Chains A and B, each alone.
Chain A
Amino acid sequence: MPMRRVVILLLSCCLFGLSAAAAPKTGGTYRFPLATDPPTLDPAQITDTTSHSVASEIFNGLVTYDEKLKITPDLAERWEVSPDKRTYTFYLKKGVKFHHGRECTAHDFRDTFERVLNPATHSPRTGFIDRLKGAKAYMQGQADHVEGITVVDDHTLQLTLAQPFNLFLHLLTYTSNYVVPKEVAEQYGKDFTSHPVGTGPFRFVSWKHDDHLILEANHAYVAGRPYLDRIHYRILPEEVTRLEEFKAGNLEHSDIATGQFASVKNDPKLSKLIVSYPNLGTYALRFNMEKAPFKGNRKLRQAFNYAIDRQAIADIILEGRVIPATGVLPPTMPGYNPQLQGYHYDPQRAQQLLAEAGYPKGVGFPQIDLYFNTSDTHQKIAELVQAYLQQLGIQIGLRTLDWAAYIKLVDDGGTLLHRMGWIADYPDPENFLTVLHHSRNIGPAGNSARYSNPKVDALLDRADATDDWDERKRLYQEVERIIVDDAPWIYVYYYSANTLFQPSVKGLRLTGMDPQMDIGLQPMRLIWLDQ
């Protein structure tokens, strides 16, 4: 059933893409909704999808993703990797200009990486470049430059890692590694966020905070000017308002407000404008594996998994717009295992496992709370889970906190059961399996279930170190099977995006890493308006 749904979602995306096969037209303004004012447009400070969505049009990195989420050149024309897998030599494109007119060279990349690593920048994303040799020493003030960065000449850059890391190119696609001109960043300091200058297809024009932000086409862009003249980002925090603006023809795309999906699908006009595609994300409820009653009680965790009807959650609360989860890796992630059965709704099996776990019919089970960050959807899911567990004889309380309080509590291991979603930073199983399950990542680094299994750690280390994809895939699938059997999470659903696009929007190239409204990986330079 999930696979059928994935195929339908992919087909829907492909069909929409096929309709775009006409001669592109130049001109027009794309009215782009954003749910929040971008917190920052300084690449070194970006941690959110909204800021990324805008910044990815202003800036470029060395490499990026193509439509199949494979690494492809961005400002690097090509690259070579040394036999020991530690040194990457990038040959940069010539004639790349920043928006203020100066040519972008290898020196700019060195300055950019050092700026991110410089403690004075306070970048929250040093982790995406600190694998370079000498990065830690530079961050700790023990060196005045990063040893692993060598500018061979103006158009050749060599990056040397402290240890080989197969996914280094994926890390380079991240926003924090976009190149910025040092002199402009220094001139504005912290205010660079309000004066962003990059090499991207669009240049920054103006920003009225909490209202709108305008970019215009960079006619000197290295790959040629984009089709659009402008992008007019409108900051519209209320989802119903966004939908009404879309219906009135004031936006080129919009998400679909919670509770409105069924009515949009039944609307003969609007239903034709929905583009659905699976996202690389998994929604789960995570146990605390370091505390009783879940510590060392696999049967109890499995009982919880069997007690939940994921299909009902997907159909009733999410209005059928997501895919029930069977494991950790979402369906479009490389290495996804379609054979993995996961847990299906089986109250009898849940009851039996609960008894074997030492709590027959829930007797003796302590009072625990399910924590989630404040949101209508999380609340509804939590209430349904509470009801399912009640059928087993288990009473749980519900606790909601705002994000700042919630994430701190989760980091500190202060919950026994909490909700957490995860959207891929990069399309590789390592980002889900190692980051979220390796014991070295317990706590804020990603493993909030505080799961620790030496066998899993060893397999993950092996998988991460090998560059033979078939072997990696085999190892990751084995790891995922062990993890799902250990059940540190209650697997709930895989994310998918359902976005409305006006019929005039052409050139869409959506991938699993495009959130449903921010569409941050969609190159806006490929979009054109058939008006």
Chain B
Amino acid sequence: MLRFMVRRLFTLIPVMFGVTLVIFFLSYISLGDPVRAMMGQRGDPEVIAQIRQDYGLDLPFYQQYTRYLGNLLQGDLGRSYRLQRRVSEMIIERLPATLRLATAAMLLAVVCGCTAGILAALRPSSWIDHLVMVVSLFGISTPVFWSGLMLILLFASQWRWFPISGYGDGGLWHLILPAITLGALQTGYIARMTRSSLRDVMHQDYMQTARAKGLREHIIICKHGLKNAAIPVVTVMGISFADLLTGAPLTETIFAWPGIGRMMVSAVGNRDFPVVMGCTLVFALVYVMANLVVDMLYTWLDPRIRYDQKA
């Protein structure tokens, strides 16, 4: 297992290199100019040229890229063109808010999604099953900007149960509505995946054997059913968590949540390439790590999976 982990961590190097190359190239060929965007509506062409030269934006692609890579290898993500601040500092100050929101949303999605999925799988074609399917479909198909605004209008403006927006002092009350909004989609996915996966497992021979052995139903479901049904669910969870970390800009905008997603969208709009690159690297790292954790969980869920064995 250790060898597997080390090997996987080493694969990070080409992955991150590939990510920097692709994103840098896309930034290079994208329409627009960061300096011109920074100048507002009116810019002096001489000053624009001067700043472009100072930032090295007039250099050919390979020179800009090698310069960036050189700094990156020394741990320097550069400075934002627009805000003049260190990208690493900007990411670090927003990361806790993003992690809090994504973790809360994930927790909600796992608890609610798995519970609903199990209930639906155990009573196929019952009203519970239909209800879970309809609600999960609603969660999957409802746009975040609509569900977020509805939650604000009902639970914050009308009934005043929760604050309308903001991070506040980091208290739980500020977290609940954004977490529900962000987690709704993943809750729907996990509920549906748990249901279908568990239903497949319920008809397997080993489940019949367990019943024939006289085991109690809840033990059969929890020990034999859920563990075997969990592999596809865990896969979805891993990708979902990475999605939650990277895909929250709309939720962050509606609830004025100071996270990375909002910062990255704004940076893309302003062609603030150092910020875009920095955020992308963090996101790539999150995806790789999430996949690594999922792969390790497989070995616990299914002892037949052994990464260190040679084929």
- B-contact bits for A25-44, CB 8 A (1 contact / 0 none): 00000000000100110100
Quick check: is B38 within 8 A (CB to CB) of the other chain?
A: yes
B51 touching A122, Cβ below 8 Å: yes
Q: Residue of A at shortest CB range from B48?
A: A444
Name the segment of A230-238, A266-274, A319-327 touching the other chain: A230-238
A39 touching B256, Cβ below 8 Å: no
Could you show 23 A-B contacts with beta carbons less than 8 Å apart?
A: A124-B43, A124-B47, A126-B47, A193-B84, A208-B167, A208-B258, A210-B94, A210-B258, A211-B167, A235-B258, A238-B256, A241-B152, A241-B254, A241-B255, A247-B157, A248-B160, A248-B164, A404-B270, A407-B36, A408-B36, A422-B41, A444-B36, A445-B43
Those of A247-268 within 8 Å (CB) of chain B: 247-248, 250
**A444 to B39 alpha-carbon distance, docked (Å):** 10
B149 touching A240, Cβ below 8 Å: yes
Quick check: is B165 within 8 A (CB to CB) of the other chain?
A: yes
A45 touching B254, Cβ below 8 Å: no
Interface residues of B (CB under 8 A from A): 30-34, 36-45, 47-48, 50-51, 54, 79, 82-85, 90, 93-94, 149, 152-153, 156-157, 160, 164-167, 253-256, 258-259, 262-263, 266, 268-271
**A445 to B36 alpha-carbon distance, docked (Å):** 11
Quick check: is A47 within 8 A (CB to CB) of the other chain?
A: yes
Interface residues of A (CB under 8 A from B): 36, 39-40, 42, 45, 47-48, 119, 122-124, 126-127, 190-191, 193-194, 208-212, 234-238, 240-241, 244-245, 247-248, 250, 401-409, 411, 420, 422, 425, 435, 443-446
A435 touching B42, Cβ below 8 Å: yes
**A45 to B259 alpha-carbon distance, docked (Å):** 24
- Take A209-B258, A211-B167, A403-B269 as given contacts and tell me if A408 and B51 are in contact as well, using a CB distance cutoff of 8 Å: no
* Given A402-B32, A445-B44, A445-B45: 15 more A-B contacts, CB < 8 Å: A39-B83, A124-B43, A127-B47, A190-B85, A208-B258, A210-B256, A210-B259, A240-B152, A241-B254, A248-B156, A402-B268, A402-B269, A404-B31, A405-B32, A411-B43
A-B Cβ contacts below 8 A, count: 144
Chain A contact residues, majority secondary structure: mixed
- Take A124-B38, A208-B258 as given contacts and tell me if A404 and B269 are in contact as well, using a CB distance cutoff of 8 Å: yes
Find chain A residues with CB under 8 A from B32 CB: 401-408
**A123 to B35 alpha-carbon distance, docked (Å):** 11
A40 touching B83, Cβ below 8 Å: yes
**A402 to B269 alpha-carbon distance, docked (Å):** 6
**A517 to B33 alpha-carbon distance, docked (Å):** 28
Q: Residue of B at shortest CB range from A373?
A: B269
A209 touching B254, Cβ below 8 Å: no
Find chain B residues with CB under 8 A from A422 CB: 41
